[in-house]
Amino acid sequence: MLNNPVTITNKDSFFIKAMDLANNLQQNRQVVFGGLEMNETKAIFLHSAVDDLITGKGACGSASAILARILKSYNYKTRLAQMKVGDIWGGHIVTEVKKGDGWIVLDPLLRCYFKKPDGTLASFNDVQHNWEYYSKQVPKDYKMEYKYEDVRYTNWDRIGIAGKMLKGCIKLFYGEQAVREFSLRSYLLRNFHALYILSIILYLFESILLTIMIFKRRKYLNLLAAL
């Protein structure tokens, strides 16, 4: 069982252990549940990291989602990074976790992480801009086409109009950099929790709207009575 990160002096060691755990969880479940499909409506339309964890189905995206969910349970900020492989965005997916003022990158599927010259874990940006150095740290079975050419965190075009609206709001209030670094998938790891929060927001909105309508109606009736 993982220790509480507060008691761990070396956060990098904790992140590596969490990555190994995510890999083990997925691999062990693939042995048991390999080939099985979750055909329930909620699993199809509300796919979450829990589904990946239960079945072990999927590849890099599932492993990264499981790792992100583990780290989130310890209150670490995470984001899923869609790596550009050749001309394909999302050709490989890895997990990034916030450490201090920066981010570090972990590849739970291939059990890969990178260390900077000072021994601390590297970020995607570190690896991207010095691949010649970091490529020497990859495992023997590593696919060398995954060379950290570029990254994005959200495919805004895939979400359609809703994506454009959300992107516009983030850009308006937080700026262009926030749009580039926003990982929508990280907020959907707990889909049912997200729906719960959304339902509360909608309920409050409808309650406020109804209160305003009732107030205006009473004001109108009082005005008619005064005539």
**Tally of domains in the chain:** 2
Q: Which domain holds residue 221?
A: 192-227
Query: How many residues make up the chain in this entry?
Result: 227
d(CA 155, CA 32): 33
| Residue where a domain terminates, one of 122, 152, 182 | 152
Strand partners, 152: 82
Q: Is the same domain home to 139 and 212?
A: no
Residue 57: per-residue pLDDT = 54
Stronger pLDDT, 22 or 218, i.e. the higher one: 22
Label residue 78 by pLDDT band (50, 70, 90). Answer: very high
pLDDT tops 90 at residue 124: yes
The first and second tokens of residue 227, run together, are: 């005539």
Contact 121, 99 (CB under 8 A): yes
Q: Which amino acid is at 219?
A: K
In a domain, 174, yes or no: no
Residue 205: per-residue pLDDT = 77
CA angle 7, 78, 27 (to 5 degrees): 85
In a domain, 162, yes or no: no
Residue 35: per-residue pLDDT = 52
Q: CB count, 10 Å around CB of 158?
A: 9
The first and second tokens of residue 33, run together, are: 């549940």
32-53 pLDDT, tens digit each: 555 555 454 444 444 555 555 5
184-214 pLDDT, tens digit each: 888 877 655 555 565 677 778 788 888 888 8
The mean pLDDT of the chain is 81
